[in-house]
Amino acid sequence: MFKPTTGDIGNYYYGQGHPMKPHRIRMTHNLILNYGLYRKMEIYRPHKAVMEEMTKYHSDDYIKFLRTIRPDNMPEYTKQMQRFNVGEDCPVFDGLYEFCQLSGGGSVAGAVKLNKQQTDIAVNWAGGLHHAKKSEASGFCYVNDIVLAILELLKYHQRVLYIDIDIHHGDGVEEAFYTTDRVMTVSFHKYGEYFPGTGDLA
């Protein structure tokens, strides 16, 4: 089993009262160490995904915006913040772009290991940010690391089956691959009036 280390990513802070708490990733990492589970797996520090990797799915102007926006320059980017859905649910915080780089890089690195048959299982505790769209943040997600990993897997595999077991519909991943027959998305989630309000049985 391959697992990128997530010590760095636990240092980010979405803001007081925000339900997304990256320090839980650090806690997961510490539990793995303290219970000795690390002896049964290889642990790697993920590379930071570069712009060229992230723009394999996301639009150039969106990733450039994420790279540029900071808490101290937000007033200069109010129009772009609205355009890219960055604000309350997806706030601007110190190190936002690096957070996206680490999350995306961890999942891409896991997919590369799978493609090279260097592992059978890859886990990125800092990943699973399945709501991010091509040019829009959503549901606490800025960069869709899952889409980036699937695109990497498609370099070596004809088809990919994506199974999402989060309580929220994996709308960002479904939207990314809606028009291709190379990726099948299956999402087990609560539907109806529950965020994001998509994925009904219809």
Helix count (H) and strand count (E) of the chain? 7, 4
133 - beta bridge partners? Answer: 136
* Residues catalogued as catalytic: 131
Res 119: pLDDT: 95
- Angle (CA) 155-177-105 rounded to 5° is 55
Res 89: pLDDT: 92
Res 58: pLDDT: 99
For 54, other C-beta atoms within 10 Å of its C-beta total: 27
Is 0.75 topped by the overall pTM? yes
Res 202: pLDDT: 56
Res 135: pLDDT: 98
Instruction: Label residues 70-80 b or e (16+ Cβ within 10 Å = b).
Output: eeeeeeebeeb
Residue 130 CA to its chain's centroid (Å): 6
Positions in the chain short of pLDDT 50? 2-3, 6-7
Give the chain's domains with CATH numbers: 22-157 (3.40.800.20)
